[in-house]
Amino acid sequence: MYSDISLIGFFFLWLFAEGAIQGWFWAGPRRNTNSVIRGSVERDKANGFLDFHTWRIVEVLSVQGIAISALGWDYWMLIAGLTICFTAGVYERILVYIGYGKFFVSKPDFFVWKWKIPRRNWQDVSLIIIGLMLIVGHYWSKLS
């Protein structure tokens, strides 16, 4: 029963985050005046609840919550590993390639709420390695 409730809760959280993100893309002039998501260009002047990147993190965490609720906690390492590895390894590489024409480039700093997080390529490579270690760890734990 608790897994059903958490599955429904994470599903609605995912829908809300996805709606906020997609709405921001087509909002036009309302991008920086809505109360749900603030743009990343004028962070201090926007009045949204969370910034774009934080909503992306909420989206990823809610998808993880959906998967763990559906499969059970025995699969948390696999789900976290797949999410971390493929977000840094596939999603981010494709995103960068489309934007810059290369898989690894020097990127601007990352902003979550009002925190500035420096971005370096070694961070993405380390996330790929951590994700792969979690995936291997999941299967390794099943062997014993």
pTM of the model: 0.67
* Three-state secondary structure call for residue 4: helix
Spatial separation of the C-alpha atoms in residues 9 and 73, rounded to whole Å: 16
β-pair partners for 110: 117
Spatial separation of the C-alpha atoms in residues 87 and 60, rounded to whole Å: 9
Task: Return the beta strands (E) in 43-140 as ranges.
Answer: 50-51, 110-112, 115-117
Residues 111-139: tens digit of each pLDDT: 666 677 788 888 888 888 888 888 898 88
| Length of the chain, in residues | 144
